[in-house]
Structure 1
């Protein structure tokens, strides 16, 4: 990729990291940018997944205190996320690229709409504080389906996970913390699978991954100081526009 394009990719990756920490939806910015810079959609998707991996680790570090007493649950749910993420990643690499081109506008639109309704969803989720609650059986099925989606595309995966975990556990703060851990597991799976077998553009990853991590760190520092509503609206509008563009270019 030309040097100027790499500079653009790095700048957008930084913004994506900031956005992920503040409102979520960074993939809806970086992925279409890589497509606009000339990467095929599948290559843009796998490169985007690998480049944003460091940001998920920062999220896990920020929730360390919330994981106290959750070791067995983290292992159980982490194994499901491992299986789901692997399945989704393999599906992406083994199905025809034309199939991904066909479905990606729908996925981008779905991710944008999920991001739009996230505040409404989280307000409606019950939160029963620290009262222990057993995992319902359906949680594992829903989590597997969500992480298959995460391995295949991943946009707004965090929104889906918060919804599923919040409804299942009735503990919104814990759901948010577990979301970061399970997103990290899914992202690590995609890093390994796409890194070994996918068409990753490593020059883009080399410049995008460090600044994405930096953006995520800085975004976390300013997240409480700026309103997320206008930023969320901007990202959703951009995501819908991208979905329309991807649909028209097929």
Structure 2
């Protein structure tokens, strides 16, 4: 891997960290960048998962206290446990099952989450009548974390959609929540990949450095964006990702 490749990956990591925090679509930038520098699809997948841990670390370092004050330590710990468990299952699936297992259903999952974001206000009232659903939230966190540990593209969109549908957490806080939980799911999967997967460490470290900076920059950017246009933008971008996953 050349110095130019590493510079490209730092830049792609920063873009993926920032875009991923704001929209939940980090992998649409990071995964193709890893393929571009010559990694195989499996190596790119596991290396991407390892690098994406830095997004959650960066954003939580910047705004984690704000999230803890809002949701409480006990709720955050329960959600984190569900994310860790899901990440373990996702990592086992990736290392023991072919990519084709999820290939057919992934675009539909991402499209569903994106549509749910677009119609979130009415859908939340219809599903929950505006009340928080803590059990549904924990089950959903586990399920999305399984997918996040296995493949991950669009998992951020699914986390945001889940938070807005079954909890009363506002969008800016949901973004911090999403980043922290997805970071945990990626972290536990990354531990497995470090020992059993083909992680390409120069690529992972270069992209991870950029991801950390992008994740750190994400919360202040979101705080300055209007909520409804941001939600709609994430939903539309998610639909675009679903189409890309379906045809790629």
TM-score bracket for this pair, using the shorter chain length: 0.7 to 0.9
Kindly indicate whether residue 40 of structure 2 is the aligned counterpart of residue 53 of structure 1. no
Distance 1:102 1:32 in 2: 20
Contact kept, 8 Å, 2:23 with 2:156, in 1: the verdict is no
Distance 2:36 2:104 in 1: 14
SS in 2 for 1:170: coil
Deviations 1:58-104 (A, max 9, x none): 22231422322622222222222111110100110122xxx205644
Distance 1:111 1:214 in 2: 29
Contact kept, 8 Å, 2:154 with 2:238, in 1: the verdict is no
Contact kept, 8 Å, 1:24 with 1:156, in 2: the verdict is yes
Change (3 A) 1:12 1:31: same
Cross-structure match for 1:202: 201
TM-score, normalised via structure 2 length: 0.78
Contact kept, 8 Å, 1:25 with 1:115, in 2: the verdict is no
SS in 1 for 2:56: helix
Deviations 1:170-220 (A, max 9, x none): 333554443333222212212211122211000101211111212233344
Cross-structure match for 1:248: none
Contact kept, 8 Å, 2:34 with 2:203, in 1: the verdict is no
Contact kept, 8 Å, 1:67 with 1:177, in 2: the verdict is no
Cross-structure match for 2:177: 178
**Equivalent of 2:111 in 110, 113, 135:** 113
Distance 2:115 2:199 in 1: 32
Distance 1:163 1:238 in 2: 15
Change (3 A) 1:242 1:91: closer
Cross-structure match for 2:22: 22
Change (3 A) 1:134 1:123: closer
Distance 1:235 1:158 in 2: 10
Change (3 A) 1:214 1:105: farther
Gap runs ≥5 in structure 2? none
Distance 2:132 2:114 in 1: 29
Distance 1:134 1:220 in 2: 25
Gap runs ≥5 in structure 1? 246-250
Distance 2:19 2:132 in 1: 32
Cross-structure match for 1:144: 142
Change (3 A) 1:231 1:150: closer
What RMSD, in angstroms, separates the aligned Cα atoms of the two structures?
3.2
SS in 2 for 1:199: coil
Length, aligned pairs only: 236
